[in-house]
Structure 1
Amino acid sequence: MTTRDETPAPSVDQITAWFAALGSGARRILFAGPRAEISTEFVDEILTKGRKLAGPWFSESTTADELHLPDDVADYVDGLLAELQGWWIGLSNDQRLRWADVESSTVPDGLQTAYPGLFEFVVGDEGTYADPQVVDFIAVAAA
């Protein structure tokens, strides 16, 4: 049996794919506290998607009464959070209020230039949408 110290760390691509695959509720909880204990409501989703997308990194984690993200993942979420917070702080109050209203609607043309370069827009039939990860961050930041 491999110990946690011997388990290879996931690549950034694996962590990125895992985080993007999470549902909105799980991402919002992790944005609110990447190093906090994970609510039992989200443990199964986090572990299942982790095992599928990040392989051995999550294989040591089984269902637990108390689950925290491994340090590599918490570091990734912290870094992503720092980049998004830097973007959010750089917006005017008016822009923040307008972004808080976007949610699952198309992004108005006037806001498209104030979009974090870290994420691609999602182009749909009706227009341009914000990446769900950005929407989840905004929901936490605007709360």
Structure 2
Amino acid sequence: MPTVVTVPDEYGYVLLAATSTFFVNTLHAILTVTARKAAGQKYPIAYASNEVAEKDRKAYLFNCAQRAHANFTENLTPFLGALLIGGLKYPDAAAGLGATWSLCRAAYAIGYSKKGPEGRVIGGTIASLSDLILKFMALSAGVGLALGW
């Protein structure tokens, strides 16, 4: 017998939280392009060399902006999976955690790009906690569907 998954009425909020990540990605792109230009780093160079970054604060901050963007993309897929799966059972909580994640990832991006690694701590910590809770919500939703509860 097939299993029917019903999308809750509030699932639109989950989709809005997912959509917010598009704009966080755009923020990362703007921060990285701006830092690249300020540092005089030409394409296709992904990062300034250590020798250059150690002597040039702008090159160092370009590397920080690049790393922040890379970290965002590394975390985006599992975050979206947890958000979309967890949101099937807990749409309001998932949407709230998803919005929190996006706001904190924006703070992470700005902090890391402007101040270096120390600027990422608060945004990164709260985003990571939101993500972890979403992963457990997704686990609960998956187990509940598999076991019929």
**TM-score (norm. length: structure 2):** 0.28
**TM-score (norm. length: structure 1):** 0.29
Bigger radius of gyration among the two: 2
**Larger strand share, 1 or 2:** 1
